[in-house]
Chain A
Amino acid sequence: MNKPFSPASTYDVLRQHGIDRRDFLQFCITTAAAMGLDAAMVPQVVSAMETKPRIPVIWLHGLECTCCSESFIRSSHPIAQDIVLNMISLDYDDTLQAAAGFQVEEIRQKLIKEHPGGYLLAVEGNAPTADGGVYCTVGGNTFLNVLMETAEHAKAIIAWGSCASNGCVQAARPNPTGAKPIHELISGKPIINVPGCPPIAEVMTGVLTYILTFDELPELDRIGRPKMFYGQRIHDKCYRRAFFDAGQFVEAWDDEGARKGWCLYKMGCRGPTTYNSCSNMKWNGGVSFPIGSGHGCIGCSEANFWDNGPFYQRLSSVVVPGIEATPDKIGAVLGVATAIGVGAHLTATVAHRLSRKPITDKDQPTADKTEQE
């Protein structure tokens, strides 16, 4: 994105119209006088004119559970207070808004009218499209209409969480309300998908502050996710990866392996097929993450993860060699493991380990097309 994202200050606008610094200061003095302020107040007027207003944000809630908002306020750096008071102007957010009813709808209408193309739209949840959209209404209007109307004049759209990015739970089979993610409803606008149920708090604030700091959208992958947080698989950064490579697995809940923190792959962990920052950034200020607390990843930032279960069924039916396996057994397994995916990847890593060859990136097949239901 070459076009800057944040709103321009008055000084920026004047400069674009050919006004130089000297004329700008004269303008400030005149303005101060016109406002009845004495000369001592001129520096403050100058400062106000040079200061960029905070970018207005409209945060809509459709079919969702508010876990994204809850995650957002858990952010440890920056904290939510700093974002809301100092970085953005959160003008519309039904979860936190002081006003209610028509007063709050007025705010949305006013922003659309007064700042067309000048506000960010953050969407939590998605829109039901069945039966004319009656499964979610706001202020007597369908959420679908509210979304389309607000999106039309937005500068860009942030699709918070798996609901807005992928559809999430209400779009799981049989999707009774016809719930659709934002990118399936809106075109012609930059859309950033920030999946996860919810996304990690610091991923949410990281995306937002990146836009504010660098005045552009972050680099996105082919499905609209910021590469900086969704570029690698959880498995590849997991501290339990060494146990996977060594063939040391939790075989049952609360077994010896569970107490030693071994790999959860056999308990259904989706780390090998899930792109997210859980295993390196961790959750809630770096305290832990699902695998670190003994439960496999359920893949909540991947599209259709609800329908890729059951969650406790491991990703591939390929026989997993244990740590006691001999090279001969590994060879036998490799002979039958024609399927690509996690199982093949595992056997390959174990085979490498046993043959004492270094593992390189190109030895590791991608696992995002594993055998799943």
Chain B
Amino acid sequence: MSTRVVVDPVTRIEGHLRIEAILNDSNHVGDAISTGTMWRGIEVILRDRDPRDAWAFCERICGVCTTVHALASVRCVENALGIRVPKNAEIIRNIMFLTQMVQDHVIHFYHLHALDWVDIVSALKADPDKTAALAQKVSPSFPLSSPGYFRDIAATLKKYVDSGQLGIFQNAYWGHPAYKLPPEANLMAVAHYLEALKWQKEIIKIHTIFGGKNPHPNYLVGGIAAAVSMQSDNAINMERLNFIKDLIDGATQIVEQMYIPDLLAIASFYPEWTQIGAGLGNYLVYGDIPQNGISDVSKFRFPRGAILNKNLNEVLSVDPTDASQVQEEIAHSWYEYSDGKTSLHPWDGETSPKYTGPKPPYKQLDENAKYSWLKSPRWKGNAMEVGPLARVLVGYASGNTEFKDVVTEAIGALKVPASALFSTLGRTAARGLETRLAVRWLLDEYNQLVANLKAGDSATADTSKWDPSSWPAETKGYGFTEAPRGALCHWIHIKDAKIANYQIVVPSTWNASPKDGKGQRGAYESALIGTPMADPQRPLEILRTIHSFDPCLACASHVLSPDGRTLSEVVIVP
């Protein structure tokens, strides 16, 4: 008899996600469905608005990966209007992008994912002296490693538990047989959970300096709004640059001396998780961090490309401007297409929501019927995984030495082959590895900014196309980025200086998508197949794999337009 495990809400994610897993007789996941349970309709709201305002609306798609939709949106409008942003603006956007990626990945590891591997209650049994010894062994240079430090953390934890009010830690899976860390490793992780919580509010100040606030810093079509002047105390000046440099140095220490050592230490206790959760084996990356303008793909720090069937010997070329590459299906999504069509390009997508699920409150969904507010995007007919693992694999398979070096070092430390990356743990590790690259790149971009300023270039915005009277009556464009969770693309159609159509295909839609018409599962669903569950009532193993993707459901489920109108075709301006 099969058991059906329902996890709803999936917590420690952004947004609303439901997972139903059907277990076979040996308590392994035999089938799984992933359901986005929320929809907001941002694309419809964007219609008829000023394209220069679009970034602000799009940014509100997500406050966790705040900035990525704003960045994709300003690139989208600039592409439509033929604007190339000044060099300083490109660098500053890269710095903001990398700041976001570093901060978001560290938060994900400690605050959203760690409790899948770390048993907080077990930490109560830890010996602070032994914890200090462990910490000094794991990361010899990290200063917070004295016995007294860990005694304080243990006392804080004990006081909290003794209060009898366990807050967000109550009713969880403590003592679950799948937890493998010794008490000292658990205590160290608890300490770093708190350190990361304190630190994340520091690094993000880079956004405040350039964008005025975080979450949701300001962006600008044509460049950035913050002016640079070394002769002004009311612009980006030497003091602001020093502030940024200091924050980058702090981030480098947190990543190199805390996050990466913790990641490797925790991973070493869970070798079996290099064999679980591989999923699709297909990976898609649009690429990002331009070094010579957004149109020069060959100069991206994150290379573009696709991998199919785990074949690291071949990186396939990807062109987001090729209308035939991306299709969205609705076989299991609560929508209907006219004339019985089964898949459409996003730019002539027609979206008519039609909820046919059970009337809430309901107990379970039907995996053979429609079951999600997410569509199923497919690349050349294939279900694809996007995100850190895809980026690291495409970088590695492209022969990029920076990627090769960090991968080789990590698999050497863990004594596993490169194929171990195709797993839940590999996905979690890849996020750490690209964070290492991201802090190095942050410093490099900062140095580039200083060098460019020193060379006498202080321009931050191209305003030649700011006035709508300079725009063509009709134009189209696209803008992409690599969000923390993966490949993101926006498409716009501007008519008479207003948005005629706006389309977005986001990373978590790729990953969390339901099955398509051919029955191909999405990345979450596929990764869950074969997962062993020690105690189906306490679905820790499901959470491990789902969290390894870092779900962002506000992003995934914003995209649908509800009025049933056929959206006009968008032709991409290369």
Query: Residues on A close to B: CB < 8 A?
Result: 53-54, 56, 61, 63-71, 73-76, 79-81, 84-85, 88-91, 93-107, 128, 131-143, 145, 168-170, 172-177, 179, 197-198, 200-201, 252-254, 258-261, 278, 283-285, 287-295, 298, 300, 306, 309-312
Contact = CB atoms under 8 A, between A and B. Distances in A.
A111 to B, nearest CB: 10
B123 to A, nearest CB: 13
Contacts of B359: 132
Q: Which of A76, A102, A132 has the most CB of B within 10 A?
A: A102
Nearest to B8: A139
B111 interface: yes
A99 B173 contact: yes
Given A283-B212, A306-B57, A97 B11 contact: yes
Interface in B194-231: 194, 197-198, 200-201, 204-205, 207-218, 220, 222-229
B57 A101 contact: no
B273 to A, nearest CB: 18
Given A100-B543, A135-B39, A261-B232, A176 B215 contact: no
8 contacts: A67-B66, A67-B216, A70-B64, A170-B41, A177-B41, A284-B213, A294-B226, A295-B220
B63 A198 contact: yes
Contact of B60 (A65, A69, A84): A65
Contact of A89 (B41, B45, B165): B165
A71 to B, nearest CB: 6
Given A107-B171, A288-B212, A310-B53, 5 more contacts: A98-B169, A177-B40, A260-B229, A293-B217, A295-B218
Contact of B554 (A64, A106, A135, A172): A64
A68 B63 contact: yes
Contacts of B8: 101, 138-140
A128 to B, nearest CB: 8
Given A74-B201, A140-B362, A198 B40 contact: no
Contacts of A175: 45
Interface string B177-198: 0000000000000000010011
A197 B60 contact: yes
B506 to A, nearest CB: 12
A311 B50 contact: yes
B37 A106 contact: no
B235 A261 contact: yes
Interface in B499-541: 538-539
B201 A76 contact: yes
Nearest to B66: A67
Interface stretch (B136-144, B287-295, B323-331, B455-463): B455-463
Contacts of A67: 60, 62-64, 66, 215-216
Contacts of A91: 165, 167-168, 170
B7 interface: yes
Contact of A85 (B15, B39, B160): B160
B198 A293 contact: no
B214 A284 contact: yes
A122 to B, nearest CB: 13
Given A67-B66, A142-B360, A295-B220, A252 B466 contact: yes
Interface string B4-21: 001111111111101000
B415 interface: no
B227 A101 contact: no
B567 interface: no
Contacts of A200: 213
Contacts of A201: 201
Contacts of B215: 67, 70-71, 74, 198
B63 A253 contact: no
Contacts of B115: 98
B44 to A, nearest CB: 5
A136 B16 contact: yes
Interface in B140-180: 156, 160, 163-165, 167-173
Contacts of A90: 167-168
Given A132-B360, A135-B40, A294-B235, A74 B204 contact: yes
Contact of B210 (A172, A261, A293): A293
Contact of B205 (A63, A260, A285, A292): A285
B209 A293 contact: yes
B212 A176 contact: no
Given A73-B197, A137-B16, A253-B222, A169 B360 contact: no
B120 interface: yes
Contacts of A141: 360-361
A62 to B, nearest CB: 8
B357 interface: yes
A96 to B, nearest CB: 5
B74 interface: no
A98 B120 contact: yes
Contacts of A133: 360
